[in-house]
Amino acid sequence: MYVAVKGGEAAISNAHAQLADERRGDRDVPELGVEQISGQLGLAVDRVMTEGSLYDRELAALAIKQAQGDMIEAIFLLRAYRTTLPRFGATEPIDTAGMTLVRRISATFKDLPGGQVLGATYDYTHRLLDFDLLEPDGDQPQAPETGPLDQAPAPRVVDLLNHEGLMETLGEPEEGFEPSDITRQPLRFPADRSARLQNLARGDEGFLLALGYSTQRGFGGTHPFAGEIRRGEVAIEIVPEELGFAIEIGDLDLTECEMINQFQGDEEHPPQFTRGYGLAFGGSERKAMAMALVDRSLRSEELGEEANHPAQNQEFVLYHSDNVEASGFVQHLKLPHYVDFQAELDLIRRLRGERDDDQAEAAE
Amino acid sequence: MNDTVESSGKRPGDPAYNFGYLDEQTKRMIRRGLLKAVAIPGYQVPFGSREMPLPCGWGTGGIQVTAAIIGPQDRLKVIDQGADDTTNAVSIRRFFARVTEVETTEETSAATIIQTRHRIPEADLRDDQVIVYQVPVPEPLRQLEPREAECRKIHAWSEYGIMHVGLYEDVARWGEIARTYDYPVMVNTRYLAAPSPIPKFDNPKMTGMAALQLFGAGREKRLYAIPPYTEVTSLDFEDHPFTVQRWGESCGLCGAGDSFLDEVILDDQGERLFVCSDSDHCRKRREEGHRGALAGHEEIRALEQADPA
């Protein structure tokens, strides 16, 4: 038994070979292609890209394949690769009002400029297992013919409310403001909103989902409305120094969520709505919505609200949202700890011995 | 900490990665952090910890520190629980063999850099050696005060009453300070620091140590250091002075009576064996002819073979 704990190089190599063998599975079944994953497990790829914070469908699909579909392991693989990449610069802020929409819904207005576009969604599907998909070539769907959407301008709902002054305005950042980058600089508290949003965007979907849910159940309620959820492609632009003007270098497939929350007001400000923001790669809609709820909760302090609940506590949320960190530390408990355990054994035996002695003495 | 390869340096090691895995800018950032840490002994320096290809909590802080200071002339020793052949130590040593191709060693005295988890070697370290600790929780106050912003204030004001009260509560409840590892220390009479989860048995080795002691906490993004020959004291009370673990037994293999012993359960009848946790120390003593009570016994032959020979 002891030898197993002290397993050395051979054990590790064998373990990895066995893992690779298990990953391949039944050799009579064709090997899974990375294109199949990115094409047919698209939402898994979207999640890995979002929390891996690297927009690359092929690498995310590779990570999912390599990790046997373990999402957190795949996210970890992508993150570890991402760290090694050089940085060429930062893009201009993206303009999601100019998004080429494939989906856009608002829960706050029945109709609005640009309209409601339901798009491809699991909403309103009946969750009945489709046994046709069990058959080879059983999946032969046909998308309805719609032709290119003649897209009317679809300004963001929060901007529409802005015109009336009903929505809080956040103002332009100060001259020279640089957003935080928590992958280069450690978090400091209080963390500014750019650091918080970056943290939440990379944060574990399950963790944010539970925290967002907790706010709905009364642990720091923010009375949210889904002002708008939109998905589509957004152009990304950079301003190369030698050119001095912006050029497009590609598109990002994004889901954005703006939550509209109960109003605030004080002596200086009339009552107005406040906002929570969520953004994720691809169709990670649940993540974007949960993120928007938690973003709003984390603004409690700046908005002068009491902050007594977990979702309102910056340190609690931001230090525990990262699933790569959390997974590593939880699982490090399987590393040998026998030196410290030996120290504890020694102590507890001694304390028990002293207790027995005391009791024996008292009995005499 | 010999000559480091400058930014040219793809080789030696895996050609896909820079020498020591980290890029040169990152290494510089970490070295700047380490310089600050050495200048303010015991102070936790926040740093831009990177996502390493090994999991957080498995030594990524120590790995980044080692990667930032290692050069081609170095000889690296990696131990976990005092032993070179524990799986995670093997894994980390393989990582550095791959990305640096530096010589690795299991001999404490031959190493220039010793990366460790949970132990300080039994042998005295020299002033030409560096010991790098892997630190899971760098904040000694964390279990008493979970808020980081608060902890930083406590350190800034050197207001460590909360820790003394915590230790006193142990005394009140159990008659002694019931901390057996990660036992809090004062560094250079100024900063309270976590020695990482080494058993308190090892705490006395920290004070006045000739080697430079560097601490890396990757997940928590902190560096700290204890420069050579710095005073390090374990907190205690006049009427409850600091003491270390002692065993009634000596090492079953080498007979050492003054080393930290691991307890090994031999069968389901309660038969047990105590062996040195420091595998290099034990091997050396056996080579010198020291024999423990159980050396050569049938049941433990596998164990002796499993130890590095």
Task: Supply the pLDDT for residue A149.
Answer: 63
Q: How many other C-beta atoms are found inside a 10 Å radius of the C-beta of residue A170?
A: 11
Going by the DSSP 8-state scheme, the letter that residue B8 receives in this structure is: T
Same-domain check for residues B122 and B32: yes
Name the pairing type of β-strands B185-187 and B191-193.
Answer: antiparallel
Same-domain check for residues B31 and B92: yes
Instruction: Please enumerate in sequence order all residues whose Cβ is within 8 A of that of B50, keeping only pairs 6 or more positions apart, or say none.
Output: A83, A183, B22, B26, B64, B218
Which residues of chain B neighbour A14 with C-beta distances below 8 Å?
none
Check if A87 contacts B (Cβ < 8 Å).
Answer: no
Q: Is the dihedral of CA A60, A66, A72, A73 positive or negative?
A: negative
List of E strands, chain B: 45-46, 75-80, 103-104, 113-117, 130-134, 185-187, 191-193, 212-217, 222-226, 232-234, 261-265, 272-276
* Domain end call among B216, B231, B246: B231
B296 is catalytic: no
* Total count of domains within chain B: 2
Whole-complex ipTM: 0.87
Residue of B42, B59, B82, B216 marked catalytic: B42
Task: Supply the pLDDT for residue B11.
Answer: 52
Same-domain check for residues B134 and B269: no
Adjacent-strand bridge partners of A100: A233
Average pLDDT of chain B is: 91
Interval A153-163: pLDDT, tens:
888 888 888 88
Domain residue limits, chain A? 8-83, 96-121+150-171+178-322
B151 is catalytic: no
pLDDT band at B300 (very low <50, low <70, confident <90, very high): low
Are A82 and A59 in contact, with CB atoms under 8 Å apart? no
Task: Supply the pLDDT for residue B58.
Answer: 94
Check if A15 contacts B (Cβ < 8 Å).
Answer: no
Tokens of B206: 């920290």
How close A313 comes to chain B (CA, Å)?
Answer: 10
**Are A324 and B56 an interchain contact pair (Cβ–Cβ within 8 Å)?**
yes
Same-domain check for residues B75 and B217: yes
Same-domain check for residues B209 and B302: no
> Is residue B11 domain-resident?
no
Minimal-distance CA residue of chain A relative to B246:
A346
Task: Supply the pLDDT for residue B307.
Answer: 47
Same-domain check for residues B283 and B221: no
- Average pLDDT score over residue span B302-307: 53
Same-domain check for residues B43 and B126: yes
> Is residue B195 domain-resident?
no
Same-domain check for residues B219 and B284: no
Interval B115-156: pLDDT, tens:
999 999 999 999 999 999 999 999 999 999 999 999 999 999
DSSP one-letter string for A161-173: HHHTT-B----PP
DSSP one-letter string for A93-143: PP-GGG-EEEEEE-SS-SS-TT--B--S-STT------GGGGSTT-----P
Rg of chain B's alpha carbons, rounded to an integer? 20
**Are A186 and B52 an interchain contact pair (Cβ–Cβ within 8 Å)?**
no
Q: Within chain A, which residues score under 70 in pLDDT?
A: 1-7, 147-150
- Domain range enclosing B42: 24-138+205-231
**Are A327 and B55 an interchain contact pair (Cβ–Cβ within 8 Å)?**
yes
Task: Supply the pLDDT for residue B1.
Answer: 47
| Cα–Cα distance measured from residue A124 to residue A122, given in angstroms and rounded to the nearest whole number | 6
pTM of the entire structure?
A: 0.91
Are B163 and B154 in contact, with CB atoms under 8 Å apart? no
